[in-house]
């Protein structure tokens, strides 16, 4: 809409969180909030909140704070959540099916229109009323229906080729659950959800914490470092 200065990715990643907290406040019938109060709730500095919001405009008022409903709706507009988006799921396995069954997406305006798979046992079935088609029909479907987002929940080996096709046929973005980094043209947007990576970082942090704890014990009482036991027994 406006060309202005570029918004940093760090800010964009925080927007949905603001949106969520403001939604909660709205539900609690809180009409106004200051950056300081929000700061306490969200564990972010008030300064950062003000600066983040100011990237998009001056939504607050000195001596008053921010009007919750107004700010909520502004962020909604900024995120583009004031319209509907068509999505397709490519790969009807566990995760694909779980996402189709997850009805909260629809409440936000993200509508899953179709599922595609290669498995003959799935093709023709419906999941929550949404039909599973043969992947062979995908080209035609995408060319005839405006598909905003393709959700990729397929095996590593197949993801690369499918992504290339999807890009060619005209989806705007991909939400990628496959455990690979997709190679797509610059004008196609990819958001990765690498679950295993996320779990691995959690494991790293757990180990780090437990080794620190051992060190502290060690330093504090002069005892030898307690070994971390292997849990598989």
Partner DNA sequence: TTATTGTTGACAATAAAATAACAGGAGTGC
Partner DNA sequence: GCACTCCTGTTATTTTATTGTCAACAATAA
Contact between 129 and DNA by CB under 7 A: the answer reads: no
- Reading the block at residue 82, the tokens are 């004031």
Please calculate the CA angle 100-134-161 and round it to the nearest 5 degrees: 90
203 binds, among DNA, its own copies, none (CB under 5 to 8 A by kind): its own copies
In contact, 184 and 164? CB cutoff 8 Å: yes
Q: Distance between CA 122 and CA 131 in Å, rounded?
A: 9
Contact between 22 and DNA by CB under 7 A: the answer reads: no
207 binds, among DNA, its own copies, none (CB under 5 to 8 A by kind): its own copies
Q: Which residues make Cβ contacts (< 8 Å) with residue 135, sequence separation at least 6?
A: 90, 116, 117, 118, 162
Contact between 47 and DNA by CB under 7 A: the answer reads: yes
Which of 46-54, 109-117, 173-181, 192-200 is the region at the interface with DNA (rule: CB under 7 A)? 46-54
Contact between 201 and DNA by CB under 7 A: the answer reads: no
4 binds, among its own copies, DNA, none (CB under 5 to 8 A by kind): none
Contact between 8 and DNA by CB under 7 A: the answer reads: yes
Of 61, 118, 137, 183, the one binding DNA by CB under 7 A: 61
Neighbour-count burial for 84-109, b at 16+ CB within 10 Å, e otherwise: ebbbbbbbbeebbbebbeeeeeeeee
For residues 120 and 227, which CB has a smaller minimum distance to its own copies in the complex?
227
- Residues in touch with its own copies (CB under 8 A): 1, 3, 12-13, 15-17, 19-20, 42-43, 78-81, 83-86, 94-95, 97-99, 101-102, 104-105, 108, 110-111, 146, 148-149, 172-173, 175, 179, 181, 187, 189, 191, 193-207, 209-213, 215, 229-232
**Minimum distance from CB of 233 to its own copies (Å)?**
9
For residues 29 and 187, which CB has a smaller minimum distance to its own copies in the complex?
187
1 binds, among DNA, its own copies, none (CB under 5 to 8 A by kind): its own copies
């Amino acid at each position: 809409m406006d060309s202005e200065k570029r918004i940093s990715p760090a800010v964009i990643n925080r927007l949905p969180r603001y949106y969520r907290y403001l939604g909660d406040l709205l539900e609690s019938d809180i009409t106004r909030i200051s950056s300081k109060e929000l700061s306490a709730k969200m564990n972010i500095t008030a300064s950062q909140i003000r600066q983040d919001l100011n990237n998009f405009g001056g939504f607050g008022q000195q001596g008053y704070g921010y009007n919750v409903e107004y700010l909520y709706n502004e962020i909604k507009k900024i995120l583009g959540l004031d319209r509907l988006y068509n999505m397709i799921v490519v790969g009807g396995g566990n995760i694909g099916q779980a996402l189709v069954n997850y009805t909260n997406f629809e409440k936000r305006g993200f509508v899953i229109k179709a599922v595609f798979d290669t498995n003959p046992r799935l093709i023709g079935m419906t999941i929550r009323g949404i039909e599973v088609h043969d992947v062979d029909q995908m080209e035609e479907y995408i060319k005839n229906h405006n598909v905003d987002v393709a959700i990729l929940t397929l095996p590593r080996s197949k993801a690369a080729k499918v992504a290339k096709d999807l890009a060619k046929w005209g989806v705007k973005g991909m939400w990628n659950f496959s455990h690979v980094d997709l190679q797509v043209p610059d004008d196609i947007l990819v958001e990765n959800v690498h679950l295993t990576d996320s779990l691995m970082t959690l494991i790293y942090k757990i180990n780090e914490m437990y080794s620190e704890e051992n060190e502290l014990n060690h330093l504090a009482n002069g005892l030898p470092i307690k070994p971390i036991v292997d849990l598989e027994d």
